[in-house]
Amino acid sequence: MLDSDLERTIRADGTEVITDFEEPINDRNRVAPVIEFRDVHLSFDDKVILDGVSFSVRRGETKLILGRSGGGKSTTIRLILGLLKPDSGQIFIDGEDITDYTEEEMMHVRHKIGMVFQEGALFDSISVYENVAYRLREQNVDEDEVEHEVRRMLRFVDLEDAIDKMPAELSGGMRRRVGIARALVGDPEIVLYDEPTAGLDPPTARTICELAIKLRDLQDVSSIFVTHEMNNVGYLSSEYAIINHDGEVVFEKEGERLCLINTEVIMFRDGKVIFNGTDEQLRSNPDPYIHKFVYGKN
Amino acid sequence: MNPLTRFIFELQEISVLIWRSFVSLFSAPRYVGEWIRQMDLIGVGSIPIVLLTGFFTGGVLVLQTFPTLEYYSIQNESGRSVATSLIRELGPVLSALMVSGRIGSAIAAELGSMVVSQQIDAMRAFGTDPNRKLVAPRLLALIFMLPLLTVAADIFGLIGGAIVANQLYNQDVSVFVSSARNGIQVEDIIGGVIKPIFFGLVIGSVACHKGLSTTGGTVGVGRSTTDSVVIASIWVIIFDFFLSKALQYILDIGRI
């Protein structure tokens, strides 16, 4: 960095403060959205999947996407990865307009994104180790580093014991966790979760949510979390992770003194965004459809 | 969609699939390990069924034609009749059909289950082009291995024919061999090796396309598998006719 990038100011108490000129730019980046949809439309044959969807995800923010099955939630995620292309509208990732990117151009965008698939989508012909190592292998990273990374990620999801197992030997919850470990290799800035807790028992689902909270609060990951379970909304929008004095990660609930603002909820209905706001606003929304979705009854 | 539109649409999809895989061979990453693994699975793995098919087909050809040839007192030409029909026609077609059943179905089922369990999406999401990693190695393996398997089937067919002629009709092996050698020309062999190259391409591209376009869960996988074998087999037989005609014209074979 050039010395001219640094601004020196002398404070009243005589201490010198050096301000890095690059910092304000980074700060501006924090406000600029990491993911942005602008009036996205998509239909398959005659079926309208997304009908003018616009929303954005800021850096370090988690967006919970709620909605009934088949409401366009998973499609949204596939659009972000470029696995599908919209009929019209624009999609921005990190300020780049990826709408018309070719498959080759998408490859470098995808390096920034980690994806957790519905059922894990582990490659079942290779071991857990190779699954997690997949992305590094594609980048020809040397073996020592691969092993180090794989172990670090498996430790993060608390599955280091399963390293030599085949995906078929794992339970549903373990498969999702390996899927999360695989998505996190290479420390992506964006992590997309496609119904990661569907079909899991409550404690396992809670574990998955805790992993997402840890990533959000301790690693500054921006994410989209697609779900239709209100439990997940409760965990993710009202709890945060901190490291206590003993160096352990603990989860605390928001309260009178602190309200989480890094998690918001979007709700889809028939391809349209019908709600976009905080969980408190969601719970007090008078719309009968939303009320029924949140509380399960009118 | 009417059947004609659907057919043209699928033809386009298959052409694009073949083109993309072909182009991917000229740039990194190349997954050479995967090429070799597929050649082993497809080529070496199919040896037993192809050899058995060849052996018994050669045998039955002699069994059925020998009495007729004897009726015309040209039983010494039994080697020629077996060699020409095997090398020009039955070797390539039967090997292709056997491989279509064994490999085409396996490819469609494997790729189909990868689609329905989102493994193909995962692959793309992690920056791998499925054409490069999955389709190209399979096409390459089929195009290289099917001609070799065909040659092996031809040889075993001739052995089978010689054994039947010798054991059941008391013909001297040397008579059989010399008539076989007189009966076939270099052009026959070239034609017999060119055909399986095309058949390999047909089987591989149909199976990969059917597998990758699977929809509708496990039922869809079953449907893709069946479709792939049926469609590939029919196209092998249709292609065989036109290829034979083209080869007759180009290599000037089959006139006598």
The answer to whether residues A1 and A84 belong to one domain is: no
The helix (run of H) or strand (run of E) holding residue B150 is helix B136-169
A226 occurs within a structural domain = yes
Cα separation, A126 vs B128, in Å, equals 16
The answer to whether residues A196 and A270 belong to one domain is: yes
The count of structural domains within chain A is: 2
Asked if B119 has any chain A CB less than 8 Å from its own CB, the reply is yes
Beta bridge partners of A65: A226, A266
Contact B122 A121 (CB under 8 A): yes
Cα separation, B149 vs B44, in Å, equals 9
> Which residues, 6+ apart, have CB-to-CB distance to A298 below 8 Å?
A288, A291, A292
Residuewise pLDDT in 10s, chain A (298 residues): 444 444 555 555 555 544 444 444 455 556 678 999 999 999 888 888 898 899 999 888 899 998 887 778 888 998 999 888 999 999 999 888 999 998 888 888 888 899 998 888 899 889 999 999 998 888 888 889 999 999 988 988 888 898 999 999 998 888 988 998 999 888 889 999 998 888 888 888 888 898 889 888 888 889 999 988 888 888 888 888 888 888 888 888 877 777 777 888 899 888 888 888 888 888 888 888 888 888 888 7
Instruction: Write out the DSSP string of B43-111.
Output: IIHHHHHHHHHHHHHHHHHHHHHHHHHHHTT-GGGHHHHHHHIIIIIIHHHHHHHHHIIIIIHHHHHHH
The answer to whether residues A97 and A202 belong to one domain is: yes
The residue in chain A having the minimum alpha-carbon distance to the alpha carbon of residue B113 is: A124
The answer to whether residues A72 and A52 belong to one domain is: yes
Question: pLDDT exceeding 70 applies to what percent of chain B?
Answer: 98
The answer to whether residues A12 and A85 belong to one domain is: no
Domain ranges for chain B, please list them. 30-251
Give me the helix-helix angle, B32-39 and B136-169, nearest 10°. Answer: 20
Q: Could you tell me which of B253, B65, B235, B240 has the C-alpha nearest to residue B161? A: B65
A54 occurs within a structural domain = yes
Question: pLDDT exceeding 90 applies to what percent of chain B?
Answer: 80
The answer to whether residues A45 and A107 belong to one domain is: yes
pLDDT of residue B35: 93
Contact B119 A138 (CB under 8 A): no
Contact A111 B122 (CB under 8 A): no
- Domain holding A5, by residue range, is 1-30
Asked if B123 has any chain A CB less than 8 Å from its own CB, the reply is yes
The answer to whether residues A208 and A289 belong to one domain is: yes
Cα separation, A79 vs A130, in Å, equals 27
The answer to whether residues A209 and A281 belong to one domain is: yes
A117 occurs within a structural domain = no
Asked if A134 has any chain B CB less than 8 Å from its own CB, the reply is yes
The answer to whether residues A220 and A291 belong to one domain is: yes
Arithmetic mean of pLDDT, B2-31: 91
pLDDT of residue A238: 84
Identity of the residue in A117, A134, A182 whose CB atom sits nearest the CB atom of B118: A117
The answer to whether residues A60 and A50 belong to one domain is: yes
Per DSSP bridges, beta strands A249-253 and A239-243 are antiparallel
The answer to whether residues A104 and A47 belong to one domain is: yes
The answer to whether residues A96 and A14 belong to one domain is: no
Cα separation, A192 vs A63, in Å, equals 10
Asked if A115 has any chain B CB less than 8 Å from its own CB, the reply is yes
